[in-house]
Structure 1
């Protein structure tokens, strides 16, 4: 009978279901009022006294109220509690207005004493009837769709919290997943019931996974630390179950959890650092109610800067990029997510001073984030004039016009490859830093110029992670330049947040260096990605493996490791993950004279002349020429557990030379954040 009823209800057209609900309410609501009178008197006296008329009148008035509140427009299978609250509130207004009206006109035929009881009974009827109907329809849908599916995934949720609760609700509305239990690190929750499911302590996962036949575990703790996440993933892989996750705190925008929120574990989830929420006073200082210009707005860092800035309600956000498609993509995304944001999109290159001036003129720009740059080392090495023109001439244009138009703050997004560069890309970014340093030193300037230097960003265009993914999907080999290459990595959202906060601390001329966490051996990164793909590395000892790792040699201009600082003048900042470095620079007159020589060499396209001119500006620039010149990473860099250890080692070396004074040991713990890397 239940099967027949559920099939019949499912087959009804939408109008038929609405008509059925209205008819059911027309029958049930008079009974609700009659029951209210019966409960009020404790017998049938009031029913006999007033008759059926009041019950029919109040029911006839209730139907329009339910229609207005949206109760009949709601799809029962996806019933929202918000509609129930709206219906209850509307019903309460009806009862209150009826009660008041009966007093005003002294309408004695209406039994006022039963109105309040009627509200409770009618609301209870609405809740119970809709949830019963939803249960019947959901049962039919699950049975019908289940017949077409070979299996249902039995899922366990790691994390008995709000995110886990939302996920269970989403799974119960779907047909592909069946939640069977929770796991949690909180021992006090062991064997407790949460969302009608048993919670088990995480140390006993193996036993319950096998007992319950769990196929998949979903990590539902957005704030889970990176180390703990890594431990859980490694453990669950040994148990032979797949592991997926909900977005992290950096990725969650509206906090709503659906089945579409579940995604595969990415290498970024295991390589990043524990999240430090942005400090609001720093995050908003240069963005809230400000006119902000982002150059390179369609790039990996530029687009994330735009997203983060948009959350701070700027007065206007101006996007500049020479790529039409990249600009279109970020513009459409921002218009969808932030419909009230005033956006201005401009196609153009920072190398074109006239177009740049036209973009800035009359806008009263408060803050500029200069993220436009060519960043791929081999490509810039093969196209030196274009790389220098974009990275150096473009930065010079930005600095000149920022000062001319009275911009308050101008921040350059730089790279650790600018530190003792071995390639033109790194040298061009160091020259861009020198341009900003010289601009900051001008006595007449009204603009605060500063630079933010950081390392490789996970998932950005051209980064090693997407490359490895493509190579693994195609069956390999995974190509690595050298077995000893190490790099620092950072997540894109965190990098953008730290850039914005560093800019808020600028006083003029500083180089802010971001804490990049642990240095990662690229070969170990490749092996982890192969393992996460469910594959095995092919080696001489295991020739039957799936994916080979192949070493292809360092490319021109590439280093085994990226250094963190140029000078020893390093101080902590207001933010625990940002260090401040004051580095030597050239005066404006000398710099502009040498830049003129460099640009002339670029016009001639004479690479030797270009390199000679670059070396005159950046003396530490040492062009790559042979493998014998490649130095191995310092022992303290390889053995250090994280960048704080590296920083401590650096400061102790400085202290040994007597540069920090007698209290150097006390300064080490406070200086807890430094790093470096490329914008890509």
Structure 2
């Protein structure tokens, strides 16, 4: 008999804590608890009188109070939501329902006394009812929540965790985690970030507050630390090394969304931080009013649309409500995946997917004729430095000639704006990729300087993008997944980094502010040593550099710089209204020889004359000398005397 009763209780409990219980069931249980509370109140009041005890009261007064309670259940929607995730907010809602019912019954009670000379129920009984009703309603929710946690405790492992910080927002985050995410994390304390405070004398929610020294010395420290996204950004933009120190202790770090994005069921969004989170900088503030005026209701063409930069440009254009987006790329599968993503996430977006190669001018002309773009973002390019060193003609064909094809068609079809996505490697280039991009920049500027030009030709330059296709971070992730080693070319090599969304936001902003002919360069912050990047990524996996994962140095690759040029140098740039966007001062004087070289460079590329094309490139970009020419016995092919004289 007892075993059967136990099974029944377990089955009922499992039903109440299953993934979804109809609201009608929760409503019915709340009503039943209210009726029990009313009967209890009548019973307690009856013990004070000489009358017979009212153990089960079904008088009309009971049903009236129950009816009032039902009205407030519906008004406050207190039976909505998932009971297993009940929190402090739910307690407040039950309190509102109960207090509203109490005050309403009190008013009716005194009106009844005024008009009929008696009360429905003594005032004390009303308050007793309110106390019992709130207790039962809240206890029911807490019981279901705790039962759910116990029934699922064998499915998920708990992680002991600290909350990083003791501010008001940190305490609010802790409260939400304790009440809504207890099956994943067991909050055991807070980490104080203020060295002037003595944490040992204070407690929050009866949980201790530690400083970092205590965490380091603890033999049974927690496995995780949880930090809000906003605090993580502040720490990364300051000199506070707490994140690095925690990683060195092999403590997993998790983050929550920004406070304004939280809701009472959203604490499941705790995510383990990635290297991109550790390198993020102050969020960018865009001039949305200006961007709307440029991009709203426009037909916008994006080349390289399936790439990491191109696809993010597309996503960030969508909020500005373009009339249509033309996605151009030669990569079939990535373009198809982008198409499926846009159809799913933005069903109202008007866009077309076009398979085309920027080297094929006739195909591109068909696209311009059919879709008549008003704004062009040209991001299609070959970007891998070592690969392009081995295939210089292909780099020239795509990066220079492809850009020329797009720019010529933009001029022919009189688009309003042409935004060319360049690279910091175009500054004093030491590799073919950078040199071809620099040559493309020169061609864009030559068109911008034409007297008959009405197109705003704009160039944007920035450095390495975190997590872009083929970049160092995905490469390191693969090496770590295979237990290393991580290969770094040089212990002192540094690079500038920004996130994909940051880079694309600045591209859109620069594209909107440009009047034509400018080369916009972005503030990339401080350079990051690649060896530090590798160490951070190893620690993020809970491993120790040079112990669990080895780091090996392979030597600089052909065309690779030890340090990239500082794009935000005040001596070589002019400020704009946006603090992260500068204009590069003109460093090239256009004359007849430049125009001739640009024309001859295209002709040699078209004729597949690699040696001649490289010679023209060397004269066009004199700061660059191709490695093939430097390291072999080959000499420059003399240029025609007509060009030399000009």
Give the TM-score of the pair, scaled to structure 1: 0.73
Structure 1 counterpart of 2:561: 559
Task: Quote the Cα distance in structure 2 between the aligned partners of 1:549 and 1:627.
Answer: 31
Superposed CA deviations along residues 593-625 of structure 1, whole A, max 9, x for unmatched, are 544433333344332122123224323321124
Superposed CA deviations along residues 549-579 of structure 1, whole A, max 9, x for unmatched, are 3333433332333224699653222233332
Superposed CA deviations along residues 29-72 of structure 1, whole A, max 9, x for unmatched, are 59659979x99xx9999xx9xx9335425645865885797655
Q: Would you say the 8 A contact 1:558–1:624 is kept in 2?
A: no
Task: Quote the Cα distance in structure 2 between the aligned partners of 1:44 and 1:498.
Answer: 82
Aligned pairs (5 A) from 1:85-124: none
Structure 2 counterpart of 1:280: 287
Task: Quote the Cα distance in structure 1 between the aligned partners of 2:95 and 2:412.
Answer: 61
Between 1:500-509 and 1:349-358, the stretch displaced more is: 349-358
Question: Which one of the candidate residues 83, 94, 101 is aligned to 1:76?
Answer: 83
Task: Quote the Cα distance in structure 1 between the aligned partners of 2:227 and 2:256.
Answer: 9
Between 1:583-592 and 1:428-437, the stretch displaced more is: 583-592
Task: Quote the Cα distance in structure 1 between the aligned partners of 2:280 and 2:29.
Answer: 59
Unmatched segments (≥5 aa) in structure 1? 100-107, 539-544, 630-680
Question: Which one of the candidate residues 236, 247, 256 is aligned to 1:226?
Answer: 236
Structure 2 counterpart of 1:401: 409
Per-residue deviation at 1:414?
Answer: 0.8
Question: Which one of the candidate residues 240, 254, 269 is aligned to 1:245?
Answer: 254
Structure 2 counterpart of 1:609: 612
Question: Which one of the candidate residues 497, 500, 511 is aligned to 2:508?
Answer: 500
Question: Which one of the candidate residues 428, 431, 441 is aligned to 2:449?
Answer: 441
Q: How many residues align?
A: 604
Q: Would you say the 8 A contact 2:37–2:132 is kept in 1?
A: no
Structure 2 counterpart of 1:489: 497
Task: Quote the Cα distance in structure 2 between the aligned partners of 1:290 and 1:91.
Answer: 52
Aligned pairs (5 A) from 1:464-479: 464-479=472-487
Superposed CA deviations along residues 412-452 of structure 1, whole A, max 9, x for unmatched, are 21111112223221122112211221222223333322211
Q: Would you say the 8 A contact 1:69–1:83 is kept in 2?
A: no
Task: Quote the Cα distance in structure 1 between the aligned partners of 2:103 and 2:414.
Answer: 61
What secondary structure, in the 3-state scheme, does the structure 2 residue paired with 1:225 have? helix
Structure 1 counterpart of 2:172: 165
Task: Quote the Cα distance in structure 1 between the aligned partners of 2:609 and 2:285.
Answer: 46
Task: Quote the Cα distance in structure 1 between the aligned partners of 2:602 and 2:575.
Answer: 37
Give the TM-score of the pair, scaled to structure 2: 0.76
Structure 1 residues 297 and 64: CA distance shift in structure 2, 3 A: farther
What secondary structure, in the 3-state scheme, does the structure 1 residue paired with 2:627 have? coil
Q: Would you say the 8 A contact 1:278–1:501 is kept in 2?
A: no
User: Is structure 2 residue 309 aligned with structure 1 residue 301?
Assistant: yes
Per-residue deviation at 1:153?
Answer: 1.9
Structure 1 residues 91 and 405: CA distance shift in structure 2, 3 A: farther
Superposed CA deviations along residues 178-214 of structure 1, whole A, max 9, x for unmatched, are 001122324569455545644445565446x55x742
Structure 1 residues 247 and 62: CA distance shift in structure 2, 3 A: closer
What secondary structure, in the 3-state scheme, does the structure 1 residue paired with 2:422 have? strand
Task: Quote the Cα distance in structure 2 between the aligned partners of 1:43 and 1:464.
Answer: 82
User: Is structure 2 residue 161 aligned with structure 1 residue 155?
Assistant: yes
Question: Which one of the candidate residues 255, 258, 271 is aligned to 1:262?
Answer: 271
Question: Which one of the candidate residues 406, 417, 421 is aligned to 2:425?
Answer: 417
Question: Which one of the candidate residues 165, 175, 193 is aligned to 1:185?
Answer: 193
Between 1:229-238 and 1:409-418, the stretch displaced more is: 229-238
Superposed CA deviations along residues 250-292 of structure 1, whole A, max 9, x for unmatched, are xx9945653443214x33444x364143243587366663534
Per-residue deviation at 1:388?
Answer: 2.4
Q: Would you say the 8 A contact 2:91–2:138 is kept in 1?
A: no
Superposed CA deviations along residues 139-161 of structure 1, whole A, max 9, x for unmatched, are 22323333566x63211010235
Question: Which one of the candidate residues 511, 515, 537 is aligned to 2:523?
Answer: 515
Structure 1 residues 214 and 285: CA distance shift in structure 2, 3 A: same
Structure 1 residues 408 and 180: CA distance shift in structure 2, 3 A: same
Structure 2 counterpart of 1:175: 183
Q: CA RMSD in A?
A: 4.9
Unmatched segments (≥5 aa) in structure 2? 107-114, 633-646
Structure 2 counterpart of 1:142: 149
Task: Quote the Cα distance in structure 1 between the aligned partners of 2:573 and 2:78.
Answer: 64
